[in-house]
């Protein structure tokens, strides 16, 4: 197994995700905008769980909290749970077909949004559920190019 | 791995508790915005390029048509303004007869939205005016249609605006028709607000216009806020559920107005 450096592509992808997240979109479209930081986190944890594990999920979660101006710890909790799910299943899913991975991301986005809705309802914040399926579909579409890029690093690493 | 995850969950819970009940991270967030604003400017490039391409590819005929239409619109507005000036003078005379205090005159400064909060539940925007333009915390912000929100954080060259539809925003208003006072609150929906604690016996109807009442001293009197869209009452509830549609284009307006009140004195530098 070759040891290749992935720090630069990870940082570049995180920066790209932050910029994509900040691109202004109006009103209702904002709810359909994928969480690009979450997708980048899933991609690297899925393919490189030994390098980018729970600690990585926590760091990306803190970045998301600061970016979204949410309560500090809110995204840390959600990203940690999501990272843990990905780590548990990575041995199986890394060998699955792209289509299967897209379905997995679709389901993970739904889980994350339901977790968010649950936490929001605990804090008496209004909960919107209608957008979740659309958001999951859009996130899955964005996953395809992201998966291809990280998969290339994974194959070089192997 | 499970142990690490357990500690991460503990850390997250601790952070949530500390951030919810203490102001310890406030200054840190303030400093962090110095990093996020340049990123917001970068993320605005696609829309700026789109606007530039649009401007440079529009044909002369379309521009001439647009110019003619704007000229007509300007004439109509000037006509309305003359009528308004006459009404303002009459209002001033009547107030003097009643020995009432004079209404404060406001001046405005045009500003542009450079960033929008990526969190759909967090209704905040960043504008390109800051302490250098004498912007101050609590300053009202308008668009062409109505009241948009207020300044919450001021930095050197930019500021953050909390929109009136944000869940944490409440605004004292009055019904234009009869002066009934109430408080309108945000619901995290760009197209809906709610009027709180209105008893079923009061005179309010669908279609009523709401304007800022000036109570609390933060917002000036008389700026349009919204229109009453729906009134309902659930059995057993003491107050009515009143939905209000904001007049300002909160999710679309790109150019906003910062309101300076002339009595603010040292803030007059920014008023234009």
Domain ranges of chain A: 7-20+33-157
B9-31 burial, b if ≥16 CB within 10 A, otherwise e?
bebbeebbeebeeeeebeeeeee
Domain ranges of chain B: 2-56, 170-246
Q: Which tens digits make up the pLDDT trace of A93-149?
A: 667 788 888 999 999 999 999 999 998 888 777 777 888 999 999 999 999 999 999
A chain contacts of residue B189, beta-carbon cutoff 8 Å: 126
Asked whether residue B111 carries a pLDDT value surpassing 70, the answer given is yes
Chain B window 25-84: which residues touch A at a Cβ cutoff of 8 Å? Answer: 25, 29, 32, 36, 39-40, 42-44, 46-47
Q: What is the pLDDT of residue A108?
A: 93
- Residue A78 CA to residue A64 CA, distance in Å, equals 10
The answer to whether B9 contacts A80, with C-beta atoms less than 8 Å apart, is yes
Q: Exposed, middle or buried by CB within 10 Å (0-12, 13-18, 19+), for B209?
A: middle
Q: Which tens digits make up the pLDDT trace of B2-16?
A: 888 899 999 999 999
Q: What is the pLDDT of residue B271?
A: 43
A chain contacts of residue B120, beta-carbon cutoff 8 Å: 30-31, 33, 128
**Most confident of the ranges A20-34, B52-66, B133-147, B248-262:** B133-147
- The CATH architecture assigned to B170-246 reads Beta Barrel (2.40)
CA angle B239, B244, B245 (to 5 degrees): 170
A chain contacts of residue B17, beta-carbon cutoff 8 Å: 73
DSSP state at residue B206: T
Residue with tokens 């203490």: B22
ipTM of the prediction? 0.85
For chain A, the first-to-last Cα distance in angstroms comes to: 5
- CA–CA min distance B218, chain A (Å): 24
Asked whether residue B238 carries a pLDDT value surpassing 90, the answer given is no
Asked whether residue B272 carries a pLDDT value surpassing 60, the answer given is no
Of B9, B117, B167, the CB nearest to A125: B167
Instruction: Please tell me the pTM assigned to this model.
Output: 0.78
The answer to whether A76 contacts B15, with C-beta atoms less than 8 Å apart, is yes
- Residue B241 CA to residue A23 CA, distance in Å, equals 35
- CA–CA min distance B175, chain A (Å): 27
- Residue B272 CA to residue B261 CA, distance in Å, equals 11
Between the CA of residue A121 and those of A114, A116, A127, B119, what are the distances in Å? 10, 9, 6, 16
The answer to whether A125 contacts B118, with C-beta atoms less than 8 Å apart, is no
Inter-residue contact A37 to A60 (CB < 8 Å)? yes
The answer to whether A24 contacts B116, with C-beta atoms less than 8 Å apart, is yes
B145: contact with A, CB 8 A cutoff: no
Per DSSP, the three-state class of B271 is: coil
């Amino acid at each position: 197994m070759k040891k290749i450096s992935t720090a630069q592509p990870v940082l570049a992808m995180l920066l790209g995700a932050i910029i994509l997240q900040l691109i202004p979109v109006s009103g209702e479209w904002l709810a359909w905008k994928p969480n690009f930081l979450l997708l980048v986190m899933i991609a690297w944890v899925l393919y490189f769980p030994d390098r980018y594990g729970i600690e990585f999920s926590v760091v990306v979660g803190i970045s998301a909290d600061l970016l979204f101006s949410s309560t500090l710890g809110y995204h840390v909790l959600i990203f940690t749970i999501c990272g843990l799910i990905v780590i548990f299943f990575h041995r199986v899913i890394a060998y699955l077909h792209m289509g299967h991975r897209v379905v997995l991301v679709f389901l993970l986005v739904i889980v994350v949004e339901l977790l968010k809705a649950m936490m929001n309802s605990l804090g008496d914040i209004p909960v919107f559920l209608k957008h979740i399926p659309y958001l999951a579909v859009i996130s899955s579409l964005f996953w395809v190019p992201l998966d291809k890029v990280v998969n290339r690093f994974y194959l070089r690493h192997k | 791995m499970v142990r690490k995850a357990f500690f991460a969950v503990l850390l997250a819970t601790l952070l949530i508790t500390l951030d919810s009940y203490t102001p310890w991270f406030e200054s840190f967030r303030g400093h962090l915005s110095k990093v996020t604003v340049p990123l917001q400017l970068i993320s605005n490039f696609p829309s700026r390029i789109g606007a530039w391409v649009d401007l440079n590819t529009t044909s002369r005929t379309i521009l001439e048509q647009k110019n003619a239409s704007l000229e007509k619109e300007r004439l109509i507005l000037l006509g309305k303004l003359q009528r308004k000036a006459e009404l303002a003078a009459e209002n001033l005379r009547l107030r003097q007869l009643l020995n009432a205090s004079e209404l404060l005159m406001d001046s405005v400064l045009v500003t542009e939205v450079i960033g929008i909060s990526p969190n759909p539940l967090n209704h905040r925007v960043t504008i390109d005016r800051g302490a250098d333009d004498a912007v101050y915390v609590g300053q009202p912000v308008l668009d062409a249609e109505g009241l948009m929100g207020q300044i919450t954080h001021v930095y050197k060259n930019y500021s953050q605006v909390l929109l009136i539809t944000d869940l944490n925003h409440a605004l004292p208003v009055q019904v234009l028709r009869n002066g009934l006072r109430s408080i309108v609150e945000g619901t995290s929906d760009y197209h809906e607000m709610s009027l709180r604690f209105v008893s079923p016996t009061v005179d309010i109807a669908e279609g009523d216009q709401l304007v800022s009442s000036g109570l609390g001293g933060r917002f000036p009197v008389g700026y349009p806020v919204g229109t009453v869209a729906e009134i309902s009452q659930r059995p057993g509830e003491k107050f009515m559920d009143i939905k209000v549609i904001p007049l300002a284009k909160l999710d679309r307006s790109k150019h906003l107005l910062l309101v300076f009140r002339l009595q603010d004195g040292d803030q007059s530098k920014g008023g234009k």
